Amino acid sequence: MSSRFDNDIIDRPGAAQRDPVANAPRKSTEDARQGETRNEMRYVLGFGVAGVVVAFAIIYAIFWL
């Protein structure tokens, strides 16, 4: 009976000697950053969260009050 881990790197010979992090590319923090870092993005996040809270409050008021 085979398990779902049969083909994992852990079960392969020599897996203990290999270090996947050793050959990983190195990037600076600025190069690795994926999103916008401008201050305007904080407002977008704040308005989005506030909008969701208001929407759930309205849904709650309509269905349970």
Residue 37 maps to a domain = yes
Residue 31 maps to a domain = yes
For residue 46, pLDDT over 70 is answered with: yes
Question: pLDDT exceeding 70 applies to what percent of the chain?
Answer: 60
Residue 4 maps to a domain = no
Residue 32 maps to a domain = yes
Enclosing domain of residue 41: 9-64
Domain count along the chain:
1
Residue 2 maps to a domain = no
Q: Looking at residues 46-52, what average pLDDT do you find?
A: 97
For residue 43, pLDDT over 80 is answered with: yes
Helix, strand, coil in percent for the chain, rounding step 5: 50, 0, 50
Cα 17 versus chain centre, distance: 29
Range in 18-22, 35-39, 57-61 with the lowest mean pLDDT: 18-22
In this structure, the dihedral spanned by the alpha carbons of residues 21, 22, 24 and 25, taken in order and rounded to 10 degrees, is: 140
Residue 3 maps to a domain = no
More confident position, 65 or 46: 46
Contact of 35 with 41, CB cutoff 8 Å: yes
Q: What pLDDT score does 39 carry? A: 78
Q: What angle do CA 56, 45, 55 make, to 5 degrees?
A: 15
